Amino acid sequence: MVKISSIFVLGILVMLMPFSGFPFGWKDAIYKICGLAIIVLSLLIRKELHEVLRSLHNNEVIKADTFTESIPQEKSGDEK
């Protein structure tokens, strides 16, 4: 969720940049840094999304370190 919020904040920064009063050189550098940050964050989000989708569509049993207590089999009336 932090990555999505960061992209949102960078978008607001880019939207407000023309009204900031910075010189053109600074604005150009800030635009490039924000653009690069948006690209990196979107690629990280895409990677996480693919991992989640892969795990959802995976038919293999997920092995987890859990404890299961064994229950003894009850003997039927024929065996004594």
The token pair that represents 80 in the structure block: 């004594």
Q: Supply the pTM of this predicted model.
A: 0.64
22-79: per-residue pLDDT in tens? 999 999 999 999 999 999 999 999 999 888 888 887 766 666 677 666 777 777 666 5
How far apart are alpha carbons 31 and 20 in whole angstroms?
12
Q: What are phi and psi of 60, to 5 degrees?
A: -75, 155
